Amino acid sequence: MKKYRSVFATILSAVALAGCAGGIQGKGMTDSPSAPPTLEQIGRAQVTGIYDGKPITLNNGTFEGAPFVEGGAAHPTVELLGRLTASADLDNLPGEESAVLLAESSAGSGINVYLAVFGLQNGAAKNLGTILVGNRVQTRGLGLTDGVIVLDVVQAGPQEAMCCPTQLARRSYRLEPSGLKQVASEVVGTLSLEAIAGIEWTLEQMQGRPLAQGSMAPTFKVAGSTASGFGGCNRYSGSIKEGSPREIALGMMISTKMACPEPQMSLEDQFLVELSLVTSYSFLNGQLALGWKDGNRNGVLVFRR
pLDDT tens string, the chain, 305 residues long: the values are 444 444 444 433 333 322 323 333 334 434 445 789 999 999 999 999 999 879 999 999 999 998 877 777 778 999 999 889 999 999 988 899 999 999 999 866 689 999 999 999 999 999 999 999 999 999 999 999 999 999 999 999 988 888 889 999 999 999 999 999 999 999 999 999 999 999 999 999 998 899 988 899 999 999 999 999 999 999 999 999 998 888 999 999 999 999 999 999 999 999 999 999 999 999 988 999 999 999 999 999 999 99
219-231 residue pLDDT tens: 999 999 999 999 9
Residue 233 in contact with residue 217, Cβ under 8 Å? no
Domains of the chain (ranges; CATH) run 20-190 (no CATH), 194-304 (2.40.128.270)
Q: Could you count the other beta carbons within 10 Å of the beta carbon of residue 134?
A: 25
Amino acid at 179: G
pLDDT for residue 19:
30
Which one-letter DSSP state was computed for residue 247?
B
Strand 138-145 and strand 148-155: the pairing is: antiparallel
Residue 1 in contact with residue 58, Cβ under 8 Å? no
pLDDT for residue 164:
87
| Spatial separation of the C-alpha atoms in residues 227 and 212, rounded to whole Å | 24
pLDDT for residue 110:
83
pLDDT for residue 81:
94
pTM: 0.83
Nearest one of 225, 231, 193, 228 to 211, comparing CA atoms: 231
Nearest one of 27, 102, 97, 2 to 57, comparing CA atoms: 102
| Spatial separation of the C-alpha atoms in residues 102 and 105, rounded to whole Å | 10
pLDDT for residue 4:
44
Residue 131 in contact with residue 180, Cβ under 8 Å? yes
| Spatial separation of the C-alpha atoms in residues 143 and 260, rounded to whole Å | 40
